[in-house]
């Protein structure tokens, strides 16, 4: 399967809308909280609130092949997105983890990706002045390789295997392009482009998002009305469905016969 945006080897409630905040410069926040500087170290770590957590099942041709377990936390100092991907079976069962740390304005502070099985590859993405640099190695013993990317620190992370990162991109699109006024008001069929980095593939990519309207979708035998977003990049097209609390419920990658469903 492909990498990048591809996958390689009702009305919105007022409470839900508070998860997003429009920011003029520099990105977006997961919650409407005051920005906290990092110069002074607090006596203890700031309390964190759970924004979302759960599992996604990954299906190819209707067969479950993997599970992603994820959580999203926020505090006044910033937000974190953690995820673990596990293949369901196989002698070389794939197990990978990621942690994405963001400042209060949504800028990347640090992103770590680690492979626990079948290999031990790892990568870290950090800001380097106004841009990003990735440090990676295929084994713990291997010399570290550094690769710069001319991407701003506000860029999105869209790594292979970690579908919760598409939920973050959806929130970013909603915060920058939509408003709540008698329902979700987004410009239909108007593509908005974002810069993104796929650390696993060590590649940058542009990705475009549009609001496709509300749609009735059958999930596990039940019909639901959800908000649909379409994503596209050089690697293919995806469809995402979110509920009225902004929680990602389903992803469909038609070109790869792949479906992702929230458990």
Q: SS3 letters for the chain?
A: CCCCCCCCCCCCCHHHHCCCECCCCCCCECCCCCCCCCCCCCCCCCCCEEEEEEEEEEEECCEEEEEEEEEEEEECCEEEEEEEEEECCCCCCCEEEEEEEEECCCCEEEEEEEEEECCCCEEEEEEECCEEEEEEECCCCCCCEEEEECCCCCCEECCCCCCHHHHHHHHHHHHHHCEECCCEECCECCCEEEEEEECCCCEEEEEEEEEEEEEEEEECCEEEEEEEEEEEECCEEEEEEECCCCCEEEEEEHHHCEEEEEC
Convert the pLDDT of each residue in 188-247 to its tens digit. 889 999 999 999 999 999 999 999 999 999 998 899 999 999 999 988 899 999 999 989
Lowest-confidence region among 28-32, 93-97, 122-126, 201-205: 28-32
CA 105 from chain centre, in angstroms, equals 16
pLDDT digits (tens, 9 = 90+) for 139-187: 989 999 999 999 999 999 999 999 999 999 999 999 999 987 777 788 8
Residue boundaries of the structural domains of the chain: 14-262
Name the pTM for this structure.
0.84
**pLDDT tens across 106-120, in order?**
999 999 999 999 999
């Amino acid at each position: 399967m492909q990498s990048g945006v591809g996958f390689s080897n009702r009305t919105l409630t007022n409470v839900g809308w508070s998860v997003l905040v429009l920011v003029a410069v520099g990105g977006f926040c997961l919650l409407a909280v005051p920005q906290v500087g990092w110069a002074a170290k607090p006596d203890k770590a700031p309390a964190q609130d759970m924004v979302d957590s759960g599992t996604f099942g990954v299906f190819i041709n209707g067969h479950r092949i993997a599970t992603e377990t994820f959580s999203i936390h926020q505090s006044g100092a910033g937000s974190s997105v953690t995820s673990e991907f596990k293949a369901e079976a196989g002698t070389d069962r794939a197990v990978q983890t990621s942690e994405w740390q963001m400042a209060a304005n949504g800028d990347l502070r640090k992103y770590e990706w680690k492979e626990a099985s079948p290999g031990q590859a790892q990568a870290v993405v950090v800001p380097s002045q106004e841009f990003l640099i990735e440090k990676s190695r295929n084994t713990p013993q291997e010399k570290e390789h550094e690769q710069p990317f001319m991407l701003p620190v506000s860029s999105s992370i869209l790594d292979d295997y970690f579908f919760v990162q598409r939920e973050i991109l959806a929130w970013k699109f909603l915060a920058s392009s939509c408003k709540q006024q008698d329902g979700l008001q987004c410009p239909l069929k108007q593509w908005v482009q974002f810069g993104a980095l796929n650390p696993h593939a060590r590649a940058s990519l542009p990705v475009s998002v549009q609001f496709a309207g509300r749609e009735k979708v059958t999930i596990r035998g039940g019909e639901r009305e959800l908000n649909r977003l379409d994503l596209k990049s050089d690697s293919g097209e995806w469809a995402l469905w979110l509920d009225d609390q902004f929680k990602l419920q389903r992803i469909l990658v038609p070109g790869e016969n792949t479906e992702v469903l929230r458990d």
